[in-house]
Amino acid sequence: MNKNKFVNRTWATIIFCLMFIFSLLSCETVQPIADVATQVGVASGKIGAEDAEKIRSTISTLSYTFEDFTPEQEYYLGRAVGANILAKYKPLMDQRLTDYVNLIGAACSVASLRPETFGGYHFLVLDSEEINAFAAPGGLIFLTRGLLKCCRTEDELAAVIAHEIAHVQYKHGLQAIRQDRITKAIGSIAQEALQNQETVTPEIKELFDGSIRDITFTLITNGYSQQFEFQADQGALVILGKTGYHPGALIKMLQTMKQRLKPGATDFFKTHPSPDSRIAEIGKTFFGTAQYPADPLRQKRFQVHTVNLN
Amino acid sequence: MIYRKIIMPVCISISFFIAACFITPSVMAERIMAVQVKQSQIRATPSYLGKILARMSYGEKVSIISERAGWYKVKKMTVPAVVGWMNASSLANPRVVLKAGDKTVQGKTTTEEVALAGKGFNASIEKDYEKSNSNLDYTWVEKMEKISPTPEEVTAFLVEGNLSLGEGEYHE
């Protein structure tokens, strides 16, 4: 082997080996190494005020999504939304019905994609003739007396409940928060932590207030997008099917609701797509019928527990 | 000759050694997750009907052994080191479930972990929010959270109604 050939082959081997190493150490491996190196510096106090400021500005310019809220933060948002709903609607004082609704809710939540939330699922019936329901982030779910009256069987009541659970599993409530507010909120929380502040800053306070306003406005006044409502119906069909309730009960309930909704009302008539459009959308994936045999035992307990509704 | 006998084997050996140094720890590293809900349970089987082996609280860590249909087989990291199953929705990457004021927070090595350590939307902001909105009353929110049927009540309700615990995959 002449000298030139030897040198070339040696270099080729070295380059090949380097490429081999880097191909194994892909971005997924290299990036965390770099991150940890930077973060160790911050945590150990070796990075000065100027660098810390740079990090803070980086945090504030990152784009966060609703998925970046922790389950605990979602829980506190949900509680505040619940308190707002309960400032507008009074609970129905019917313990037997409340317990029954919570049993159906517990059965349906196990079948959801998200059986466990930070504070769990809890259901309350509101003393209102409106046809309405609200799913606060984290699993506080409210159903009006008027909506329950659209249900003729336990399966139909389960359909209503499963639809609301699906809103929680897809985190539709958190998605009602304005995107710029989410970015600011998560960024500010990160900054607050970095500065190790113990007190609530006015900025975080305002962002919390604003987030609650966004969610309650969507739930009570504006309604979710048609896409979210259709998605919640699809989620409900799966939950019903997995639990053993008849998915066709959702269609039957919507047919009853169609007859009961009053044009111009500020309830589901305003905040939800029409029952007809929901039924049409359900028909794209569910090929069964709205007619189903009511289970005698379920029907008996449904009648016992809903006796005071009318 | 020198190339074949020395240079090439040495280069290849060094590259494998360097790669192994970085890759092995990440492959072999124990996968740790933390409880992201207030209360959960480790069960004997991957089902809510499974016998409860241990009760777990928010922030407690587990080591992941395997995964099956929405459940993780886990090993509790504190004594007694119970092995069992937890639903995937109850667990998350430990960095999102650190408690505020948790001693483990101090000295954490990543800004992300520190940032999410119970800061922001928490109990103190709720207190403040309630104070500045006098029309709000959390009484019924508290009452609502106390309405929780027991697993035995749910099971009896399902059996009585000819229903099933809707776990696993759904096929129409």
The position carrying tokens 């005071």 is A308
Chain B positions touching A36 (Cβ under 8 A) are 109-110
State whether B161 and A117 contact (CB < 8 Å).
Answer: no
Closest Cα in chain B to A206:
B129
A303-308: long-range contacts, CB 8 A cutoff, minimum separation 24? A305/A96, A305/A97, A305/A100, A306/A97, A306/A100, A306/A148, A306/A151, A306/A157, A308/A94, A308/A97
CB contact under 8 A, B111 and A40: no
Mark yes or no for CB contact B107/A20 under 8 Å.
Answer: no
**Amino acid B113: pLDDT:** 46
Residue B79 CB neighbour total at 10 angstroms: 6
Residue ranges of E strands in A11-97: none
Residue A207 and residue A267: Cα distance in Å, rounded? 28
**Which residue blocks in chain B are alpha helix, DSSP H?**
2, 8-28, 111-115, 123-132, 139-146, 151-160
Mean pLDDT of A72-84: 96
Edge to edge, the sheet with strand B71-76 lists: B52-57, B39-43, B83-87, B71-76, B61-68, B32-35, B91-92
Phi, psi of A124 (to 5 degrees): -140, 140
Cα nearest neighbour of A294 on chain B: B161
> Using a CB cutoff of 8 Å and minimum separation of 24, what contacts does B4-9 make?
B7/A9, B7/A10, B7/A13, B8/A13
**φ and ψ at residue B97, rounded to 5 degrees:** -125, 25
Question: Comparing C-alpha atoms, which of A81, A236, A66 is closest to residue A160?
Answer: A236
Q: State the average pLDDT over residues A98-125.
A: 97
**For range A43-66, the mean pLDDT:** 56
CB contact under 8 A, A21 and B15: yes
Q: Give the mean model confidence (pLDDT) for residues A149-165.
A: 98
Whether the predicted pLDDT of A43 surpasses 70:
no
Q: How far is CA B118 from the centre of its chain?
A: 15
Band of pLDDT at residue A35, cut at 50, 70 and 90: very low
Question: Hey, are the CB atoms on B38 and A120 less than 8 Å from each other?
Answer: yes
A113 vs B contacts (CB less than 8 Å): 89
- What integer pLDDT is reported at residue A269 of this predicted model? 81
Given a cut of 90, whether residue A68 has pLDDT beyond it is no
ipTM: 0.78
How far is CA B135 from its chain centroid? 37
Which of B119, B144, B172 shows the shortest C-beta gap to A241? B172
Residues of B in contact with A59 (CB under 8 A): 111, 115
pLDDT in tens, A211-231: 999 999 999 998 999 999 999
Which chain B residue has its CA at the smallest distance from A125's CA?
Answer: B144
For A138: left if phi > 0, alpha if psi spans -120 to 50, otherwise beta; the answer is left
Chunk chain B into consecutive blocks of 10 residues (it has 172) and report each block's average pLDDT, rounded to whole numbers: 69 66 58 94 93 94 94 94 96 67 41 52 90 92 96 94 77 43
pLDDT tens readout for residues A177-206? 998 888 888 877 777 766 666 667 888 889
Chain A residues 148-207 within an 8 A CB cutoff of chain B: 154, 185-186, 188-190, 192-194, 199-200, 204-205
Cis peptide before B25 (omega within 30 of 0): no
Q: What is the pLDDT of residue A29?
A: 38
A12 touching chain B per CB within 8 A: no
Among A95-109, A145-159, A234-248, B115-129, name the one with the lowest average pLDDT: B115-129
Strand, coil or helix: what is B83?
A: strand
Q: Pairing between strand B71-76 and B83-87?
A: antiparallel
Q: Which residues of B touch A102 (CB under 8 A)?
A: 147-149
pLDDT at position A188: 79
- Which residue among A39, A98, A104 sits closest to B147, beta carbon to beta carbon? A98
- pLDDT of B107 reads 39
The predicted structure's pLDDT at residue A119: 96
Which whole number is the average pLDDT over A150-176?
Answer: 97
Amino acid at A219: L
More confident call, A29 vs A169: A169
Question: pLDDT confidence of A146, banded at 50, 70, 90?
Answer: very high
Chain A residue closest in CA terms to B12: A17
For residues A120-142, average pLDDT? 97
Contacts with B3 (C-beta within 8 Å, 6 or more apart), sequence order: A1, A6, A9, A10, A13
What's the CA gap between A124 and A121, in Å, rounded? 10
Interface residue of B47, B141, B152 to substitute, partner A, most A CBs within 10 Å: B141
pTM (predicted TM-score): 0.79
Per-residue pLDDT averaged across A77-94, rounded?
97
Please indicate whether, in this complex, the C-beta atoms of A297 and B160 are within 8 angstroms of each other.
yes
How far is it, in rounded angstroms, from Cα A121 to Cα A109? 7
Q: How far is A261 from chain B (nearest CA, A)?
A: 28
Q: Which residues of A touch B22 (CB under 8 A)?
A: 24-25, 29, 33
Out of A1-5, A93-97, A157-161, A260-264, least confident range? A1-5
- N-terminal to C-terminal alpha carbon distance within chain B: 68
Name all contacts of A261-268 with Cβ < 8 Å and 24+ positions apart.
A261/A131, A265/A130, A265/A131, A266/A130, A266/A221, A267/A130, A267/A131, A267/A132, A267/A144, A267/A146, A268/A131, A268/A132, A268/A133, A268/A147
User: Angle A26-A30-A36 (CA atoms, 0-180°, nearest 5)?
Assistant: 155
Distance CA A124, CA A147 (A): 12
The mean per-residue pLDDT over the stretch A236-261 comes to 96
More confident residue, A52 or A121: A121
Distance of CA A195 to the CA centre of its chain: 30
pLDDT mean across residues, chain A: 84
pLDDT level of residue A245 (50, 70, 90 thresholds): very high
Q: How far apart are CA B1 and CA B5, in angstroms?
A: 6
Token look-up 């409210």 returns: A142
